Amino acid sequence: MSEYHGAGQSPYGNWAGTTILAVRKGKDIVVGGDGQVSLGATVMKSNARKVRTLCEGKVVVGFAGATADAFTLFERLEAKLDQHKGQLTRACVELAKDWRTDKYLRRLEALMAVCDKDTSLILSGTGDVVEPEDGIIGIGSGGTYALSAARALIDIKGMDAEAIVKKSMKIAADICVYTNNNLVIEKL
């Protein structure tokens, strides 16, 4: 995805309309997402909910991609979590395999940040299941800005995971035109 498409076009494809950030600090995991849905240069909605809990509140998922794809993937992940008795890594690997090989699912272009109390993972439609070494995930068009800010803030004493997510998402919203300050934050 290194090719730039010119003014007004995002190099992020369908992921241009969001920023999702997950921060693990101490025993807390916090996932935040902005509320902006964009179609080209137009803001279609400012208060979308791109972060949700699954598995009776034991798993938090943030989604970057098309809305219809999000609902499909949330449902599929929840079914995999039920099938594998809440084992997050196993459920994510199985979903990634289906996503990559299923004729219908492989057309879904998205990224997901998936977290439980012990594990943080990035899932993609190409079959990737990646666990970041520092417990911080940034996806979507403003994801690299939020990720950079969170990494800069993570070692500040007295700043908990939720404060880091809020500050980092504000920084991303100040830089990325596809990101706003209407946040949905879920904490485990």
Encoding tokens for residue 66?
A: 């098309």
Residue 128 sits at φ, ψ, to 5 deg, of -75, 135
**CA gap 101, 109 in Å, rounded:** 13
Tokens 């919203």 -> residue: 173
Beta-bridged to residue 60, according to DSSP, are: 53, 115
Catalytic one of 18, 19, 42, 72: 18
**CA gap 66, 162 in Å, rounded:** 26
**CA gap 120, 157 in Å, rounded:** 22
Helical H runs in 108-177?
143-153, 161-175
Encoding tokens for residue 94?
A: 């199985």
Question: Is 19 among the catalytic positions?
Answer: no
Q: Please state, as a whole number, how many other Cβ atoms lie within 10 Å of the Cβ of residue 175.
A: 15
Tokens 């909605």 -> residue: 45
Catalytic annotation, residues: 18
